[in-house]
Amino acid sequence: MVGRPWVDGAIQELMGIVRVFWPAKGGASYECTLNDHDYRMISLRYSCPLLARENILQGKVPTTPTSASIVAAFQTQEALKIIHNMELEPGKALLINGLTNDVYKTEYPIIPERIQSALEPVIELPQVNSQTTLGELLAIAREQLGDAAVLEFSHELVISVIDTTTGAEEFVFKRMARLSENVLQGTGGLERELNLTYRITGEEDFLGRTLADIDLPPLSIVRARAGETAVYLEMTGDKETFFNFR
């Protein structure tokens, strides 16, 4: 947790939900809303296209653009409230039922053990941008923590997919959630194996790739760890161009 507000939105069929999470200002955290089933689903790490295909096979109805527009409008309104220091209700949810045209609120209970501790210390790196290489970021981590430091992502990076029939390997360097179904299909319709990692140790042969090359967006925070000691590196080199809306 970095102490920043998060305006969350989701849609399913004709239903929508909008929530603001900001534990520093009170209310429940996102983790407080998760149950055991949710954690099991997260552990599956399905990509959106795969999950959508499975839902269709189960007879579930796709969402509508109208639902998405309504939820997006409410999210924008909540974001404007934050920008202008207006009153918020963090930890509460606005539920939109497009079937009955009902809009109502609910409040999540606070579960203390699920309130994540703050990420500390966060070190801003204005010299690091999307064109910085993995090797350069690892070198910065080792300046902070010594030669034993490694980089750890909050997601799994798919380095490559391997056709189990032919042995052919295709390098992709994308987050698991951004893989499309056709990338996973191999010879004869069999799924290709995934070569995954979430840690950079310095032994990789792709340290010359840029952060953009490995699907790491601007302003990401990467954990650097050496044993039990960790720091959090925030890549702020793209900040000015990223927030330039002209």
Which band of pLDDT confidence, cut at 50, 70 and 90, is reported for residue 63? low
Q: Bigger pLDDT: 239 or 130?
A: 130
Cα-based angle 122, 128, 133 (whole degrees, multiple of 5)? 120
Name the phi and psi angles at 42, rounded to 5: -65, -40
Q: Which residues 6+ apart lie within 8 Å of 80 measured at CB? A: 86
Domain residue spans in the chain? 6-114, 122-242
Residue 29 has pLDDT above 70, yes or no: yes
pLDDT band at 46 (very low <50, low <70, confident <90, very high): very low
Residue 16 exposed, middle or buried by CB count within 10 Å (0-12, 13-18, 19+) = buried
Pair of tokens at residue 185: 């299909």
Architecture of domain 6-114: 3-Layer(aba) Sandwich (3.40)
Question: In this predicted model, which residue has the larger pLDDT, 53 or 17?
Answer: 17
Its pTM stands at 0.63
Pairing mode, strands 102-107 and 229-235: unpaired
144-173 tens-digit pLDDT = 999 999 999 988 889 999 988 888 999 999
Instruction: Give pLDDT tens digits for 217-240.
Output: 888 999 999 998 999 999 999 888
Distances (CA, A) of 176 to 26, 62, 203: 33, 22, 22
